[in-house]
Amino acid sequence: MNTVVINNTGTISLSKITANSGSPVDIQNAVNAVVAAGGGTVYIPVGNWTFNPPVNGTGVTIPYTNVPISIIGAGIDLTILTETVNPGADLSWMFSRKWNAQNYNASAVRISGITFAGFVLNETFTQNIAITLDCTKDFRIDHCKFTNFVNTAINVDANTGGTYRLAITGVIDHCIIDDPYKDWVPSVGGTWGYGILVSGDHHSYWQNLSNLLGQYGNPNVTSEVYIENCNFSRCRHAITENEDGFYVVRYCTFSEPRPKNFAIIDVHGFNHGRGLEAYDNTVNGAAGYGGSVAFGIRGGGGCIFNNNIIGCSVGIWLLKESGGDPPYSVNDIYIWGNTQTSGTPFQSDSFYTQNVDYFLYARPGYTPYPYPHPLTLQTTP
C-alpha cells in the first residue's frame, strides 16, 4: 500500500522517504522502500556524506523497474556525496541503473540537487563514474555537480547488443561538471575522464536525420539526450557519443579544456556515432593548454549553429578516422552562423566534400525542439 491512515490525524505518504544519511546503504534502503511502495521520491539530507560503496564498485543501485523514482538532494554543495577510498573495482558507479536482458525501457528517473565527488588514486587504478543509466525513458539529471571522475561523470546508454531495440532519452540540465579527473601536467600527460558519454545501439543505426532533428520521442530512435544550461570546465571531451548515440547541446558553457588538441565537443566515427545538434553555446579554449578543437566531428551528422567559439585553434573540424567508414563517417551535417575570435573557424579532411557530406548553410526546414525542454519544467516531487 502507498499510504497509512492515522485516525484523526491524516495520512503519511510512503512514497516520499528521507534517507537517514547520504551513505550508500541508507540511500539504497530508502530507494528500495520507495520502489516497494510503487514509486516516489527519496530525499537525501544536507551534509557532506562519506560515500564508500558497500559492494565492490557499486554504490546505489536504481532498480530496473516500471515505477518512477526520484532521488533529490538539498542542492549543489549542500548535499555532498564524497568517495574517500578507492571504490575497489576496475569500473565503479556511485549511482547506477543497469539493463539486464529485460525487453522494455525502464521508467523515468530523476536525480537532482547533489554534488558528486569521486576519489582518484591514479589514472590506472580505477575507472569511476558518478551516474550511469541504461535504457531509461525520459530521465532527468539536474542541478548536480560532478568532480574527480576518471571514466565519466554521467554515462547514459541504450546498447543491448542488438537483443532488443530499447532507448535512452532524457535531459541533463543546470549541472556543473568541473575537473572530472585532474589538471593536465604537460610533462607527464595522463588519462582524463569525459564529462558526459551518450551511447545508443549501433545495431539499429538510424539513417534518416530528418526523422530525428528538432524532434523528441521518435520510437525508432535509440538515443535522444538533451544537454542544456550546463557548465563544463577542465574536461577532456566535455561531451562525446558513440554506438548510434545522438545528443542535443544548447545554452551551455565550456572552458579550460584538458588536454590540448582534444575536441571539447565530440562525435565518434569508429564507434558509430550518429551525430548532434549544437547551438547557442559558448566554447572557450583560451584558458586551457592551447590547440583545442571546439567541435571534433568524426562521424554522423546534424546541425552546428549560432555558437560562440573563443580561443580555440580550430572551431569545427570534420575528421576521417580509421574505422569510421560510411555510413558512420561524417554525413549530412549543416554548419552556419557560428562566431570565432581566433584560430581557424572550419576545416575538413579531404575525404569529405562540401555540398555532399557537409553543408555550410542552414538545414532547409529545420526547426529546433522547444526550449527549455519540457522535462525541465518539473517541480521537486
Strand-pair category, 127-134 with 58-61 = unpaired
Q: Confirm whether 220 is domain-assigned.
A: yes
Query: 129 by DSSP, 3-state: which?
Result: strand
Count how many Cα atoms sit within 13 Å of the Cα of residue 370 in the half-sphere of its side chain.
Answer: 5
- Provide block-wise average pLDDT over 10 residues at a time, the chain (381 residues): 40 76 97 95 98 90 96 98 85 94 95 94 73 97 94 93 89 92 56 86 74 85 94 91 92 86 85 92 81 91 97 93 85 97 94 97 96 88 55
Strand-pair category, 3-6 with 10-13 = antiparallel
What pLDDT shows up at residue 4? 39
Cα separation, 192 vs 187, in Å, equals 15
Q: What are phi and psi of 143, to 5 degrees?
A: 50, 45
As given in the structure block, the three cell numbers for residue 42 are 527519496
Strand-pair category, 308-310 with 339-340 = parallel
CB burial of 18-46 (b: ≥16 within 10 Å; e: otherwise) equals ebebbbbebbbbbbeebbebebbbbbbee
Q: Confirm whether 113 is domain-assigned.
A: no
Cα separation, 316 vs 218, in Å, equals 28
What pLDDT shows up at residue 163? 85
Cα separation, 331 vs 116, in Å, equals 37
Contact, 226 vs 215, CB < 8 A? no
Cα separation, 18 vs 73, in Å, equals 10
Q: Confirm whether 289 is domain-assigned.
A: yes
What pLDDT shows up at residue 123? 58
Cβ neighbors of 247 (< 8 A, separation 6 or more) are 196, 198, 223, 224, 225, 226, 227, 239, 241, 276, 277
Range of the domain at 356: 151-374
Cα separation, 186 vs 308, in Å, equals 27
Strand-pair category, 79-82 with 282-284 = unpaired
Residues paired with 72 in a beta bridge? 43, 112
Cα separation, 128 vs 120, in Å, equals 8
Burial of residue 358 (CB within 10 Å: 0-12, 13-18, 19+) is buried
Q: Confirm whether 256 is domain-assigned.
A: yes
Three-state SS string over 3-29 comes to: EEEECCCEEEECCEEECCCCCHHHHHH
Count how many Cα atoms sit within 13 Å of the Cα of residue 211 in the half-sphere of its side chain.
Answer: 11
Chain Cα centroid distance, residue 234: 16
Q: Confirm whether 90 is domain-assigned.
A: no
DSSP class per residue in 207-259 = --GGGTTT----TT-SEEEEEES-EEES-SSSEEEETT-EEEEES-EEES-SS
Residue 285 is which amino acid? Answer: G
How many structural domains is the chain composed of? Answer: 1
Q: In what order do the strands lie in the sheet with 253-255?
A: 47-50, 79-82, 115-117, 145-147, 176-178, 231-233, 253-255, 282-284, 308-310, 339-340
As given in the structure block, the three cell numbers for residue 31 are 530507494
Residue 141 is which amino acid? Answer: I
